[in-house]
C-alpha cells in the first residue's frame, strides 16, 4: 500500500504539533521499519558564520533523529509488531511548531488511513477484548473507565451495546461506537460491548478506550 499520508497540525503559541509524513506498507515476514525519507538541509543565511551554521546543522540533525525515533516507536505500537514492512518516504517537521506528541499522533493516523484503504475483516470472532483506564484527578476524585468488547464478522459495520443502560450510559456507548469506527474506518465488523463501567469519566474520555481495544483487534486481522 503506497503513499499513505498522515499529518497532524495543531497551532499553538509555542510547542505546536506540526507533523507531516508519508509511508508505504509492504508484506513482510516480520515487522520492519525502514527510513528512506530525503532530508533536505535548511537554507543557510548569507550573513551566518561557519560556527553558528555548524551548530544549527548539529541541532537540526539531533531533532530530526529524535522525532523519527518517536514516530518509529509509535508506528510499532500502533501495528502491534504485525508482520508488516513500513517504509518511511517523507518526513517533515517545523523547528518551532513540532513536538514528539505530534509525530506519535501522525503514526496513529497513518495506521488509521491504512485501514480505511484496506478495510479490516475477520475470519472468526475475537472475544473478550478488554481495556481500562483509572486514576485520580488533581482534585482528589477517583475515576475509572472499563470496557470488554467482542468483535464479530459482519457484512457492514455495526455496534451493539449488551450491557444495559444501568452499566453504560447511552452517550458513553455512542462515544465508544464513534471512536472505534474512526480508528478502523467503518469496516465490515460487528462490535459488541459486553461489559464495562464508567465513573467520573466524560463521554470523550470513555471513547478514548477505543484505541487500546482496536490495537488488540489488529493482532487478529
Q: Measure CA of the first residue to CA of the last residue in the chain; give whole Å.
A: 16
pLDDT digits (tens, 9 = 90+) for 154-205: 988 899 999 876 678 889 999 999 999 888 877 788 999 999 999 999 999 9
Rounded Cα distance between 74 and 6, Å, is: 13
Q: Are 102 and 1 in contact (CB under 8 A)?
A: no
> pTM score > 0.85 for this model?
no
Range 112-144 burial, b when 16+ CB lie within 10 A, else e: bbbbbeeebebeeebeebebebeeeeeeeeeee
Q: What are the distances in angstroms from CA 154 to CA 121, 122, 124, 143, 151?
A: 8, 8, 10, 34, 9
Tell me if residue 27 falls in helix, strand or coil.
strand
pLDDT digits (tens, 9 = 90+) for 25-72: 998 898 899 999 987 777 787 888 888 888 888 888 898 899 999 999
Pairing of strands 84-92, 126-136: unpaired
pLDDT digits (tens, 9 = 90+) for 61-109: 898 899 999 999 999 888 876 788 999 999 988 877 888 888 998 998 8
Amino acid at each position: 500500500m503506497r503513499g499513505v499520508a498522515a499529518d497532524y497540525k495543531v497551532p499553538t503559541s509555542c510547542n505546536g504539533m506540526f507533523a507531516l509524513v508519508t509511508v508505504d506498507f509492504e508484506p513482510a515476514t516480520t515487522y520492519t521499519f525502514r527510513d528512506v525519507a530525503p532530508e533536505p538541509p535548511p537554507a543557510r543565511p548569507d550573513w551566518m558564520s561557519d560556527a553558528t551554521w555548524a551548530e544549527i546543522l548539529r541541532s537540526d540533525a539531533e531533532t530530526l533523529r529524535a522525532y523519527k525515533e518517536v514516530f518509529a516507536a509509535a508506528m510499532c505500537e500502533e501495528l502491534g509488531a504485525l508482520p508488516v514492512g513500513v517504509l518511511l518516504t517523507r518526513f517533515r517537521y517545523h523547528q518551532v511548531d513540532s513536538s514528539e506528541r505530534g509525530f506519535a499522533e501522525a503514526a496513529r493516523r497513518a495506521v488509521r488511513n491504512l485501514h480505511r484503504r484496506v478495510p479490516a475483516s475477520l475470519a472468526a470472532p475475537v472475544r473478550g477484548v478488554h481495556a481500562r483506564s483509572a486514576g485520580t484527578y488533581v482534585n482528589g476524585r477517583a475515576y475509572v473507565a472499563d470496557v470488554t468488547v467482542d468483535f464479530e464478522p459482519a457484512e457492514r459495520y455495526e455496534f451493539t451495546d449488551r450491557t444495559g443502560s444501568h452499566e453504560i450510559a447511552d452517550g458513553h456507548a455512542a462515544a465508544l461506537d464513534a471512536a472505534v469506527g474512526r480508528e478502523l474506518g467503518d469496516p465490515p465488523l460487528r462490535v459488541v460491548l459486553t461489559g464495562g463501567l464508567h465513573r467520573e469519566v466524560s463521554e470523550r474520555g470513555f471513547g478514548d478506550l477505543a484505541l487500546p481495544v482496536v490495537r488488540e483487534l489488529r493482532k487478529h486481522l
